[in-house]
Amino acid sequence: MLSVLRTAGPLFARESARDRLSIALLAVIPVWFVVIFSSVLGDFSAALGGTLARQSAGALSAGWAAALLSGTLAFFQVTAGRTADRRLALAGRCAAQVAAARLAVCLLAALVASAAALATLALVSGVEHPWHAAAAIYGAAITYVGIGVLIGAVVHGPLEGSLLVVLVFSIDAFSTPQMTSSTGLSWTPTRNASDVLMSAAAGGASTTSAWAQLAGTAVVSVALSAATFAAIARGRA
Amino acid sequence: MTSGSRVLAVVRYDAIDQLRRPLAVLLPIALPIYVVTRSVAQTLATPRPVELAGGQHIIATMRELHGAGMAAIAVGFVSALLGSFVARSAQSADRRLAVVGFGSRELIASRLLVLLASATLVTLVAASVVAASVNVEHWAALTGSLWLTGMLFAAIGALLGTTLGVLPATYAALFAVLVDLGVAQNPMFNARPPDWAQLLPGYGSARGLYAAAFAPTFNAAGVLLLAAGWTAVALAAVVVAMRRNLPTTPSHPSTKATAHAQ
């Protein structure tokens, strides 16, 4: 298993790094969300009847930046790797090993996106509990890795699939309770991460239950992503 | 084959090509309806003072401003997306069409007609939804402002599609529309746009839109002229980019154009 991660993992990572869109998204999205979006998010939530404070808006936008970016990059991992992964499996690589390498690249991309978002947040508005915020941002990013991979397994067109990731993200983001007065959806993918993030931004501590739910969502996302990548390598998705 | 029939033939080829994409069919109709009605339904009717083009000060509600603003965003994004599709189709097909006898003016005119048709379609859908959701003061001026938004961002999308490819162009268009129309020109966040926002291409059409929607007396012809100027410049740039894509050798008008050229 480790030998595959050492050989296929760096190859997949280099393949991703060659994509100009990925690099542009990594540069633009964290800055866009944290600098521009967070400055108007408080006013926007007030218009919708929400109660989002400015400091929470900055933290929330950092989590959203990492989530959207990770979901989009994970989607492109699936679309870019579908044919290659099947050939690798046909050539003798175990499908589980190929899936592990793909998943490792997605989790690494999510880590880079989370670090970029956290760094932008720290520079722009600061955060009271940076380690809590880092964990919550990475949790949101891992959750969207799962969403991006699942969408990639179903939708093959790069344009259609990546816009579907954006659509899911938009519904998720604007259903956050602090963003709106309407009851909306009772559960959304980044709900737990958002709660922990807003507590971290305000200097408060999250409950054990909130951390457990965040960890549970991330574990489910990783498991679903691994199963989906393995199914793709076997030619079943 | 006359020049007019050649133009119409390319328009028909391009329409068939675009209609193969589910997004090109779905987005111009579904997106404006969804975003405008959802925005109006979810936003509170909180009073908001706004300074409109022409110096008029009015009190609108956040709900009305959100509905009108989302119409502009939907028109801008969909037009830019379709513009990038048309530009990519032109890049792959127009050189071959030129070889079989189509003139560069005919090809460029046909692509611009497709941009015009798509911007007009999404504008009419968005204007109808806004009129059904918000009390619009000047319907014709609102439709004109939205149409200028559509044509401007269709041209920007075509330029992005030519230089970046469809996928990066889609994201670039999304961010451009959200920064310009969604944040900089949006009266939900500033009573009047900040000074730097006046440098952005969407300034004129957005100011015209809000004046048309909410001003008791419409006297924002100046900003609409500015929007028309931005649109003309962007379309001129599209013409230059499309002309550069075509072969420099003279075409052969006697050659019979075939429907398989695309």
pLDDT of residue B250: 53
Interface test with A, best of B26, B43, B78 (most A CBs within 10 A): B43
pLDDT of residue A2: 61
pLDDT of residue B124: 97
Highest mean pLDDT: which range of A231-235, B86-90, B94-98, B185-189: B185-189
If you average pLDDT over every residue of chain B, what do you get?
89
Of A24, A40, A158, which has the smallest distance from its Cβ to B183's Cβ? A40
How far apart, in whole angstroms, are the C-alpha atoms of residue A145 and residue A107? 7
pLDDT of residue B99: 84
- Greater confidence (A32 vs B201) lies with B201
ipTM above 0.90 for this complex? no
B175 CB within 8 Å of a chain A CB? yes
- pLDDT tens per residue, range B128-180: 999 999 999 999 999 999 999 999 999 999 999 888 877 788 888 888 999 99
How far apart, in whole angstroms, are the C-alpha atoms of residue A172 and residue A174? 6
Of A43, A159, A166, which has the smallest distance from its Cβ to B166's Cβ? A159
Q: Answer yes or no: do A36 and B42 touch at CB < 8 A.
A: no
Using 50, 70 and 90 to split pLDDT, how confident is the model at B26? Answer: confident
- Contacts of residue B186 in chain A, CB cutoff 8 Å? 40
B179 CB within 8 Å of a chain A CB? yes
pLDDT of residue B215: 95
Q: State mean pLDDT over A79-100.
A: 80
B23 CB within 8 Å of a chain A CB? yes
B140 CB within 8 Å of a chain A CB? no
pLDDT of residue B224: 96
- Contacts of residue A25 in chain B, CB cutoff 8 Å? 171
- Contacts of residue A174 in chain B, CB cutoff 8 Å? 42
pLDDT of residue A237: 61
Q: Answer yes or no: do A166 and B174 touch at CB < 8 A.
A: yes
SS3 A180: strand
Interface test with A, best of B39, B164, B171, B175 (most A CBs within 10 A): B171
Taking CA–CA distances from B42, the nearest residue in chain A reads: A48
Locate B11 and state its tokens: 């328009």
Interface test with B, best of A43, A51, A61, A180 (most B CBs within 10 A): A43
Of A21, A49, A174, which has the smallest distance from its Cβ to B171's Cβ? A21
The residues in B 207-236 lying below 8 A from A, measured between CB atoms, are: none
- Greater confidence (B156 vs A88) lies with B156
- pLDDT tens per residue, range A129-161: 999 999 999 999 999 999 999 999 999 888 888
Using 50, 70 and 90 to split pLDDT, how confident is the model at B112? Answer: very high
Q: Which pTM was predicted?
A: 0.83
Q: Answer yes or no: do B179 and A158 touch at CB < 8 A.
A: no
- Contacts of residue A37 in chain B, CB cutoff 8 Å? 183
Q: Answer yes or no: do A47 and B183 touch at CB < 8 A.
A: no
Q: State mean pLDDT over B191-216.
A: 96
- pLDDT tens per residue, range B76-110: 999 999 999 888 888 878 888 888 888 888 889 99
B135 CB within 8 Å of a chain A CB? no
- pLDDT tens per residue, range A11-61: 666 766 666 777 777 777 888 788 887 778 888 888 888 777 777 888 899
Taking CA–CA distances from A181, the nearest residue in chain B reads: B42
Q: State mean pLDDT over B36-45.
A: 92
pLDDT of residue A40: 85
- Contacts of residue A180 in chain B, CB cutoff 8 Å? 42
Q: State mean pLDDT over A177-203.
A: 81
- Chain B: closest CA distance from residue A174 (Å): 10
Q: State mean pLDDT over A178-204.
A: 81
How far apart, in whole angstroms, are the C-alpha atoms of residue A10 and residue A4? 10
List, in order, residues 6 or more apart from B167 with CB less than 8 Å away.
A21, A158, A159, A162
User: Is B212 within 8 Å of B128 (Cβ atoms)?
Assistant: no
- Chain B: closest CA distance from residue A43 (Å): 7
Highest mean pLDDT: which range of A5-9, A184-188, B235-239: B235-239
pLDDT of residue B53: 93
Chains A, B: CB contacts under 8 A, how many?
49
pLDDT of residue B259: 46
pLDDT higher than 50, residue A3 = yes
